[in-house]
Amino acid sequence: MDLIERYLGAVRWNLPAAKADDIIAELADLIAARIEDREEALRRPLRSEEVSQLLREFGHPLAVAGQYHGQRALIGSEVFPFYWFVLKVVLAIVAVIELVQIGGAMVVGDFSRALLHGSSGLVHSLIYNAALVTIGFAVIERTGWLDDYLAKWKPEELPDLPKLRLDLPPKKRWEPVFQIAFGLAFLAWWAGAFPIVFVPHDARINLVGAPIWTQLYWPVIALVSTRLLLNLVSLLRPAWKPLRAALILGSTAGTLLIARALHAVSQIVIVTGSDADKVAQVQQGLDKGLSIAVIAVAALSAFECAKELYQLYRERR
C-alpha cells in the first residue's frame, strides 16, 4: 500500500459514512492534480519523500476529515478532530465494559433492578469519562502540544489501516448462510427430529437435562428464531438497519432472560448412575461449572450485542 492509498484510507476511516466515497474521490483528484503540477514543473516523477511532503501540505488525516463534519463549537477547530476520535474510542470501550457488567448482574441479581442501576451506571461512566477526555484535550490545546505534533508528523508513519482497524470488518457473505443452517439444524434437534446423545467418558454415569429445560422449550425456540430472522435480514436486506438493531437487542434480551432462569435453578444437568459417590462428585462439579458458564454467557452476550450494534453503525453502503 503506497503513501497516497494509506493517506486516503486514514482520511476515509474518520469521514461520515454517507459522504465518504464522494469526499475520497474528490480528495484523490486534488492530490493527483497537485502531483501532476509538481511533476510538470520539475519535469520528472516525484520521489517518495516529495510525495510525503506534498501530503503533509494537505494536512493530517484527522484534521482533513474534520473539515467535512458539521460545524462544532467545542475545544477548537485544530484540536477537535483528534478530540472527537479519542472520545469515540474511549466511550466505546467504557460502554462495552459496562454492558458486560450489566449482563452478568441481570443474571445473578434482580433483573429489573440490575437493568435500572446498570443503565444509570452506564450513563454516569460515559459522562465521567467524556469529561476526563474533554479536560485532557483542553489542556493539550492550551499547552500547544498538538501544534508540535502536527508540524512533525510524517505520512510514512501512518499505519496499514486494514491491519489495525478498531471496528469490525463487515460480515462475509457466507457467515449468515452458515448461521441460518446451524439455527435450522438446532431447531430440528430441539423439536426431536433427530437425537444427539452425549456419552460421558465414564460409563458409570449418565447425563440428562434438568426439568428447567421443559419450561424453556418455547423461549429457546423464540430466541433461535429471532437469530434466524436476524441472519435472513442481514443476508437479504442488509439496508434494513433499524430492524436488524431491534433483532439484535431482542435476541440479547432473550439470552439474558434464559440465562437468568438457568441461574435461578440448582441444577441444569442431572447426573445419574450406579456409583453414588461418583454421581455426587460429578454433579457437584457440573453445578459449579455450569453456574459460572451461565454468567459468562450472559456477559459475553452483552458484549456481542455491543459489538454487533457498533458494526451495524460502522457499515457503509
Using the CB atoms, write b or e for 69-83: b if 16+ within 10 Å. eeeeeebeebbbbbb
Q: Are residues 64 and 184 in the same domain?
A: no
- Number of domains comprising the chain: 2
Q: Are residues 107 and 144 in the same domain?
A: yes
Contact 270, 196 (CB under 8 A): no
pLDDT at 132: 84
CA 18 to chain centre: 20
In a domain, 220, yes or no: yes
Q: Are residues 189 and 141 in the same domain?
A: no
Residues 6+ apart with CB under 8 A from 16: 68, 69
Please state, in angstroms and rounded to a whole number, the distance separating the CA atoms of residues 123 and 138.
22
| Boundary (domain end) residue, out of 110, 138, 164 | 164
In a domain, 94, yes or no: yes
In a domain, 185, yes or no: yes
Residues 6+ apart with CB under 8 A from 250: 226
Q: Are residues 139 and 197 in the same domain?
A: no
Q: Are residues 115 and 49 in the same domain?
A: yes
Q: Are residues 29 and 104 in the same domain?
A: yes
Could you tell me which residues are beta bridge partners of residue 206? 272
Contact 303, 93 (CB under 8 A): no
Three-class DSSP labels, 145-161 = HHHHHHHHCCHHHCCCH
Q: Are residues 18 and 152 in the same domain?
A: yes
In a domain, 182, yes or no: yes
Angle between helical axes of 241-264 and 217-236 (0-180°, round to 10): 160
Contact 279, 272 (CB under 8 A): yes
Q: Are residues 202 and 153 in the same domain?
A: no
Using the CB atoms, write b or e for 148-176: b if 16+ within 10 Å. eebeebebeebeebeeeeeeeeebeeeeb
In a domain, 276, yes or no: yes
Angle between helical axes of 80-108 and 276-314 (0-180°, round to 10): 150
Q: Of 73, 97, 93, give the one whose Cα is nearest residue 133.
A: 93
pLDDT at 222: 92
What is the residue range of 103's domain?
A: 3-164
231-247: per-residue pLDDT in tens? 888 888 888 888 999 99
- Per-residue pLDDT tens digits of the chain, which is 317 residues long: 488 888 888 888 878 777 788 888 888 888 888 888 888 888 888 888 888 888 888 888 888 887 776 545 456 666 777 787 788 878 877 877 777 777 666 665 666 776 677 777 778 888 888 888 888 877 777 776 766 766 777 777 666 655 434 344 444 556 777 888 888 888 888 887 766 655 555 556 777 888 888 898 899 999 999 998 988 888 888 888 889 999 998 998 888 888 888 888 888 888 887 778 877 888 888 888 888 888 888 888 888 888 888 888 777 54
| Boundary (domain end) residue, out of 146, 164, 182 | 164
Q: Are residues 258 and 142 in the same domain?
A: no
Contact 156, 52 (CB under 8 A): yes
Q: Are residues 158 and 9 in the same domain?
A: yes
Give the angle subtended at the CA of 211 by the CAs of 209 and 212, to the nearest 5°.
95
Residues 6+ apart with CB under 8 A from 307: 96, 168
pLDDT at 163: 44
Q: Are residues 135 and 194 in the same domain?
A: no
In a domain, 244, yes or no: yes
Residue owning grid cell 510514512 = 156
In a domain, 169, yes or no: no
In a domain, 107, yes or no: yes
Q: Are residues 288 and 201 in the same domain?
A: yes
| Boundary (domain end) residue, out of 164, 186, 204 | 164
Q: What's the alpha-carbon Rg for the chain, to the nearest Å?
A: 27
